[in-house]
Copies of this chain bind each other. A is one copy, B any other.
């Protein structure tokens, strides 16, 4: 079973992994990716907004694509919105599979697509300034590689 959530509150990685494998004794491998707000000298907070409705559709579509490519047995994607300070968790992608290869590939694929396709936008607050984060070319390139294989 797949879980997709967009929420302001935090998540618990262990609890999400437990839910993922619950009643699935065929899962032998769980890979998780957790993204956190990196701190630096001047970053005060990130504020994330998204496109309700489209976000969930996009994520569901990419989970379906991952399921078509690799024998995965469950996926959980949680993305936080609102104001987040350095150190806070932003996103969780967790995938279960029988063997590790499928889970590794699917989590990387889903992260690359979250970064480049899911309608979220980050604004950084530094001092009294707030600026929208620019999309990174490296993320676009990371997503492109899945089209080549």
Q: Which residues of A contact B (CB under 8 A)?
A: 12-15, 17, 21, 25-40, 86-87, 98, 100-101, 103-104, 107-108, 111, 142
Q: Contact at B26–A38, with CB atoms within 8 Å? A: yes
Q: Which of B29, B101, B142 contacts A34 (CB 8 A)?
A: B29
Q: Contact at A33–B100, with CB atoms within 8 Å? A: yes
Could you tell me the distance between the alpha carbons of A141 and B107 in the complex, rounded to whole angstroms?
A: 22
Could you tell me the distance between the alpha carbons of A17 and B87 in the complex, rounded to whole angstroms?
A: 12
Could you tell me the distance between the alpha carbons of A35 and B30 in the complex, rounded to whole angstroms?
A: 7
Contacts of A87 in B (CB 8 A): 21, 25
Q: Contact at B30–A36, with CB atoms within 8 Å? A: yes
Could you tell me the distance between the alpha carbons of A81 and B25 in the complex, rounded to whole angstroms?
A: 20
Q: Contact at B36–A21, with CB atoms within 8 Å? A: yes
Contacts of A21 in B (CB 8 A): 36, 87
Q: Contact at A32–B29, with CB atoms within 8 Å? A: no
Q: Which of B12, B100, B108 contacts A111 (CB 8 A)?
A: B100
CB distance from A113 to the nearest CB of B (A): 13
Q: Contact at B98–A108, with CB atoms within 8 Å? A: no
Could you tell me the distance between the alpha carbons of A36 and B36 in the complex, rounded to whole angstroms?
A: 26
Contacts of A35 in B (CB 8 A): 28-29, 100
